[in-house]
Chain A
């Protein structure tokens, strides 16, 4: 079986993660249930004439993709897979609003064109002149992991050598109001760093654009290998989570003590956090544990932040204090397990190796 490596990353998030010289040392604290990205000076990356026509989500995506390619020292990937839970929301809202306010007349097509989910991936294909596969996955909260698995299969089949894979979602003011009113968010002025200390339901809304170059070879020993990506469904009548995780490890010829760090998708909502907590004090009690959604917020492709975190930890051999959940620290971090839970009791597992 071919080995698949992550040879480059680029990420725009609510933290200082793009081209940062420090690795999560200056943590941003927000007092809001919607935490927005720290956006770069776009004109340093994108020609001004193009900038005017690009929406915020396209700009974030474009820059993160550029940085990932630079990091991998790659000019052009063979294929592109993008994950986005809600696509180009701002343009979708804009067209919908115009449609309602103008009673379906005199509509400008630009927002409609840009509202399509695959505008993000299509725009990268145009910019980079990538004429091979250009897929967009839009499957709610585990959508990034689905794009990642497809990229893995593309590379394992040997047809492609480099696949650019990203997770992109944006906050808009209206969606924030909507999901707050639906009860999916904590209080308006919660501190993101207190996410796990605020009991009850709801999380904080986040956003981000994270890209990864996945390659079937690497010249650097600094970067991670993706061991496996897998999904399971937990029937509430028969709790099989522990069995499923052990089965996943066994399939990869590993035991629980081989895992140096588990990164879990704690998001402040008891429905999910109670499951992570039970694993943390049970199956993973001897394992170092980390969390991340207090840094990037909860959004449909937030698992892409977790992948960046895992890759960076393997590269730097440091677990930043801001993500560490327990006192266990491994000296030599070789294997990381990422665990994320979506609605409908679907779970994702990603194995990362140095």
Chain B
């Protein structure tokens, strides 16, 4: 595992922007994308806020610059937009040689269309909306739209899905199965997830307050992000300048509860420690942590305790969930993309809506923007149901 893995392209679409630049400027300006739900058809429209992307599906289709002759799921459309950006950023506009792979993550796949379908199905068995339901379909649509014919697969591990897609891609490169691979994830807002998280009573009706003593829950968001990972050989063959390096990763299980995180954050602690240790890094090598920080009582306590126990009091960390909402299967990739931006541009995005220190913690998140700072290494956390904890480390080259 000594071979380096480079990042040569990034693509993002989220509620704070339809491309990398728009996302970057929103982070700099502290502009949240969370607000009233306009497009998702739900009875909870006026009850909850969300990080909704304000483009209708036909508008998203136009953004992909590809003609569609059948309805595609919103998840696939978002994925196509972000993956195309990442490829173009990496100068891989036509990856038809079969050497570029695609590892995509999603939790609900084409659920937006399944909901429509199921509604009709109960009455009339209308079938056109059922085809995109399997998670792999969004990946296949992205592969088709971007011309990727190499190895492609789909990872679905709840809210850590796209961090695990990045780990899977990294493993395929270090084992020389692939030279370059597009990794990331995509998830659209759906009634299924909105009602699911509502039934768990962990949705905040206002914009979420990660790591605040009075946090009330998470906001859902939607989006997609992809990174292009490349081996050293591929980099020198293509004569590319990397944006940064993926210098550590780990996936660990909390082995505590199906949905809840352990109160001592053992899985989070294990994931962060392993990502450092296995790759010969120390806690002092990390300049910034982009926390999972969903704004729920349980996650922020568990994660905060793990961060404090491992890094002590001086570590700078923030959650960007109050910008984008929790984008589920896309969250790990969107935050990985943000981590790459912090290294590229030398800034730390603020943890919005933080007012009061959590009682059980001695650390507080960075609540103001820091600019003009040299960031050499960033650690990004993504945690999910099933006790699934992943940490990624990005380094300046």
Residues of A within 8 A of B (CB): 85-87, 93, 95-97, 99-100, 103-105, 107-109, 112-113, 115-119, 121-123, 125-126, 129-143, 146, 149-150, 153-154, 156-157, 159, 174, 177-178, 181-182, 231, 233, 235, 300, 343-344, 346
Shortest A51–chain B CB gap in Å is: 16
Cβ contact within 8 Å between B388 and A134 = yes
- Bound complex: CA A99 to CA B172 (Å): 40
Shortest A87–chain B CB gap in Å is: 7
The answer to whether A235 and B149 touch (CB under 8 A), given A132-B253, A136-B156, A153-B171, is: yes
Cβ contact within 8 Å between A117 and B156 = yes
The answer to whether A125 and B386 touch (CB under 8 A), given A133-B251, A181-B127, is: yes
Of A103, A122, A138, A346, the residue contacting B258 (CB under 8 A) is A122
Cβ contact within 8 Å between B140 and A343 = yes
Residues of A within 8 A of B198 (CB): 107
Cβ contact within 8 Å between B164 and A138 = no
Residue of B nearest to A127 (CB): B255
- Bound complex: CA A87 to CA B133 (Å): 11
Residues of A within 8 A of B195 (CB): 95, 99, 104, 107, 112
- Bound complex: CA A135 to CA B175 (Å): 18
Cβ contact within 8 Å between B154 and A182 = no
Residues of B within 8 A of A (CB): 1, 42-44, 98, 107, 109, 114-115, 118-119, 121-122, 125, 127, 130-131, 133-137, 139-140, 143-144, 149-158, 164, 168, 171-172, 174-175, 177, 191-192, 195-196, 198-200, 251-259, 266-267, 270, 278, 384-388
Residues of B within 8 A of A178 (CB): 121, 127, 130
Shortest A298–chain B CB gap in Å is: 14
Cβ contact within 8 Å between A96 and B140 = no
Shortest A137–chain B CB gap in Å is: 6
Cβ contact within 8 Å between B386 and A121 = yes
Cβ contact within 8 Å between B139 and A139 = yes
Residues of A within 8 A of B156 (CB): 87, 117-118, 136-138
- Bound complex: CA A160 to CA B44 (Å): 46
Cβ contact within 8 Å between B153 and A143 = yes
Residues of A within 8 A of B114 (CB): 96
Residue of B nearest to A159 (CB): B278
- Bound complex: CA A222 to CA B62 (Å): 58
Show 18 residue pairs from A and B whose CB-CB distance is below 8 angstroms, ordered by the A residue. A86-B134, A97-B118, A99-B191, A104-B195, A107-B199, A109-B199, A116-B158, A118-B385, A125-B255, A125-B387, A129-B255, A130-B253, A131-B266, A132-B252, A137-B153, A139-B139, A153-B175, A157-B175
- Bound complex: CA A74 to CA B210 (Å): 42
Residue of A nearest to B250 (CB): A133
Shortest A248–chain B CB gap in Å is: 13
The answer to whether A138 and B131 touch (CB under 8 A), given A100-B122, A125-B386, A131-B252, is: no
Residues of A within 8 A of B98 (CB): 233
Of A116, A117, A181, the residue contacting B125 (CB under 8 A) is A181
Cβ contact within 8 Å between B149 and A233 = yes
Residues of A within 8 A of B140 (CB): 140, 343-344
Cβ contact within 8 Å between B388 and A96 = no
